[in-house]
Amino acid sequence: MLNSLLPQILQDTTNLALENCINESFDVNLSKMMTCIPDSVSDSVLSELAKQYHITSEGWNDCKTREEKINLLKKSILLHKKKGTVQSINDCINIENVDTKYLAWHEYNGIPHHFKIKFSFNGEAVTDKIKSVIYKKVEEFKQLRAKLDLAELQNVIKTNFFIAPITIISRKIII
């Protein structure tokens, strides 16, 4: 098994079979557990379902269309299941035209349980509204003990121009 969480010394056939059974038990189709089908209810009922599934602060207000709200409702149990993991932070900060990278404390020699996030915006203006939405989502989905050290915002603009650095040393130009 390639994706085993067990240490190499414990990866015998019995432990791997037990781990496989545990993984399969968590892969239940959770959409069948919904008490009502969100596709066929009114908008007021959708907002009540959002309150019941505790997703009003987890992107509900950021949804623009009814389909986005319905998809968020259908993924709500899965969101809560992954909450506090690196994958949940990566999922919550995935915004269109933004490349994000999560760096754990051991990747940049930081303090334990701290992390950094790097954002590369592809030609979009970084407004205060976008920054506040990102910080709010990160605070909602991170572990309680984890602390955000730094959020690097970088705006990438692609052009057809080539810029080369030069160094001038004693009246000679080295390119």
**Mean of the pLDDT values across residues 12-20?**
88
Buried b (16+ CB within 10 A) or exposed e, 21-56: eeeeeeeeeeeeeeeeebeeeeeeebeebbeebebe
Better-scored residue on pLDDT, 36 or 45: 45
In the chain, the percentage of residues whose pLDDT exceeds 70 is: 78
Q: Does the pLDDT value for residue 110 go beyond 60?
A: yes
Helix axes 66-74, 43-52, angle to 10 degrees: 30
Enter the pTM of the model. Answer: 0.55
Rounded Cα distance, 151 and 153, in Å: 6
Q: CA 107 → CA 94, 114, 116, distances in Å?
A: 21, 10, 9
Q: Domain map of the chain by residue range?
A: 1-31, 34-82, 85-175
Q: Does the pLDDT value for residue 1 go beyond 50?
A: no
Region of poorest pLDDT, from 1-5, 16-20, 123-127, 161-165? 1-5
Fold of 85-175: GMP Synthetase; Chain A, domain 3 (3.30.300)
Mean pLDDT score of the chain:
77
pLDDT in tens, 69-88: 888 888 887 778 888 888 77
